[in-house]
Amino acid sequence: MITLYGFPASNYYGLIKHVLMLKEIAFIEQRNYAADAEYLLKSPMGKVPCIATPEGFLSESIAIIEYLEGAYQDKPIASSDPYQRAKAIEIMRIAELYIELSARHFLPAILMGTEPSKEAKDKMLPVLKKAFASLESMSTFSPYLMGDSCSIADLCVRYALKTGLMVGDKIFDLNFFGETPKLAQWWKLMNDDPISQQVDSQAEASFPEFMNYLQQAFANKNNP
Ligand SMILES: N[C@@H](CCC(=O)N[C@@H](CS)C(=O)NCC(=O)O)C(=O)O
């Protein structure tokens, strides 16, 4: 049995939950917000999610997915062909490094109402646009990013794009799908998936709880 630690409002948590559900792996969820000493023993950087496996703890989503794919082989979501598998990782890295991590600069502005800096906006916008265009040109859309079944690339890109699209909307007043029609069509396909809908509705339902945690943490930081 796998234990998934973290909180459902996290898109990385949603990604791993989606993988567990798609591969039909039995798991339980354990709520964790704070990166306290006990959690750092499980996830050394304090990041969400992490999982407990029969062999020990694992953090970092790509490492977790690698483990789940290797340990639970009944419903594969990664290609056994070395080139195709590497190509999926290339797509996943582009989504995480250039969309997710660029967009994350603006989460404090969106969540806590702070002012985003002009420097950050000028620096990140071209990176975000280029990464969306890269995904549009690299993927096969047949109908999934890399073929006729949903793979690790589709899942990692879906959850990274959630952050990217929100930042496009709330910070840049821009729909990044404007110049990527095939990606927009694929997004709809992914959103129509029952597992996506289940993960999204849990994330949405838990959002007030997450905001409450954030506000408490912010207040404690300012009034130690
Ligand atoms: N590289 C990590 C990133 C995970 C991540 O950034 N998670 C966020 C929640 S969505 C988190 O733990 N934030 C708290 C922090 O950065 O201390 C992964 O792939 O799992």
Q: Enumerate residues lining ligand 1, CB below 6 A.
A: 10-12, 35, 46-48, 60-61
48 CA to centre of ligand 1 in angstroms: 5
Output the pLDDT for position 223.
Answer: 77
Q: What is the dihedral of CA 79, 82, 87, 88, to 10 degrees?
A: 30
Output the pLDDT for position 10.
Answer: 97
128 CA to centre of ligand 1 in angstroms: 19
Stretch 107-126: mean pLDDT: 94
Q: Which domains does the chain have, with CATH numbers?
A: 2-75 (3.40.30.10), 82-192 (1.20.1050.10)
Output the pLDDT for position 55.
Answer: 97
Question: Please, which pLDDT band fits residue 99 given cuts at 50, 70 and 90?
Answer: very high
Stretch 13-30: mean pLDDT: 98
Nearest CA to ligand 1 atom 10: 10
- Nearest C-alpha neighbor of 193 from the set 9, 24, 18: 18
Q: Residue 164 in contact with residue 157, Cβ under 8 Å? A: no
3 CA to centre of ligand 1 in angstroms: 17
Output the pLDDT for position 222.
Answer: 76
Alpha-carbon radius of gyration of the chain:
18
Q: Residue 15 in contact with residue 159, Cβ under 8 Å? A: yes
Output the pLDDT for position 113.
Answer: 87
Containing 50, the helix (H) or strand (E) segment is strand 50-53
Across-strand partners of 58?
Answer: 51
* Model confidence at 221: pLDDT above 80: no
Its pTM stands at: 0.96
CA atoms within 13 A on the CB side of 6: 25
- Nearest C-alpha neighbor of 5 from the set 25, 31, 27: 31
Output the pLDDT for position 141.
Answer: 98
Query: Which of 18, 31, 48, 57 gets mutated to test ligand 1 (max ligand atoms within 8 A of its CB)?
Result: 48
Output the pLDDT for position 73.
Answer: 94
Q: Residue 164 in contact with residue 69, Cβ under 8 Å? A: no
pLDDT digits (tens, 9 = 90+) for 45-75: 999 999 999 999 999 999 999 999 999 999 9
Stretch 25-54: mean pLDDT: 97
Burial class from Cβ neighbours inside 10 Å (0-12, 13-18, 19+) for residue 164 reads buried
Task: Please state, for a pLDDT cut of 70, what percent of the chain lies above it.
Answer: 100
Query: Which of 17, 31, 47 gets mutated to test ligand 1 (max ligand atoms within 8 A of its CB)?
Result: 47
Stretch 109-116: mean pLDDT: 90
pLDDT digits (tens, 9 = 90+) for 148-203: 999 999 999 999 999 999 999 999 999 999 999 999 999 999 999 999 999 999 99
Stretch 30-35: mean pLDDT: 94
Tokens of 161: 């794009």
